[in-house]
Amino acid sequence: MQTSFLLISLSAATILSWVILQSWLAKAAYTTVHPTGIPWLETQADCEKSGRVWQENNCWDSEHDPTF
């Protein structure tokens, strides 16, 4: 009887931990910002005028919305 209760409790704790971890990872994926190339800005002047960074002949947006 005591062993069954222990196994059920351990299983429930494992499932709950998994659900919390998955929720945290999903939320982190949508809130993490990654630099993104902006292909329609083809010149350094246009890129910098828009407040972005020109590097290696590409226009980079470091505040790009990850849900875009």
Strand partners, 55: 58
As a whole number of Å, the CA-based R_g of the chain is 23
Q: List, in order, residues 6 or more apart from 50 with CB less than 8 Å away.
A: 38, 41, 59
Q: Is 49 found in the same domain as 27?
A: no
Structure tokens at 46: 């246009």
Q: List, in order, residues 6 or more apart from 9 with CB less than 8 Å away.
A: none
Q: What is the pTM of this model?
A: 0.49
Q: Is 67 found in the same domain as 38?
A: yes
Instruction: Give the residue numbers spanning the domain of 19.
Output: 1-32
Higher-confidence position of 29 and 45: 45
pLDDT confidence tier of residue 31, bands split at 50, 70 and 90: low
Mapped onto helix, strand or coil, the DSSP state of residue 21 is helix
Q: Is 65 found in the same domain as 45?
A: yes
Q: Is 18 found in the same domain as 7?
A: yes
pLDDT confidence tier of residue 66, bands split at 50, 70 and 90: low
pLDDT value for 54:
97
- Number of domains observed in the structure of the chain: 2
Q: Is 45 found in the same domain as 66?
A: yes
1-24 average pLDDT score: 81
pLDDT value for 28:
62
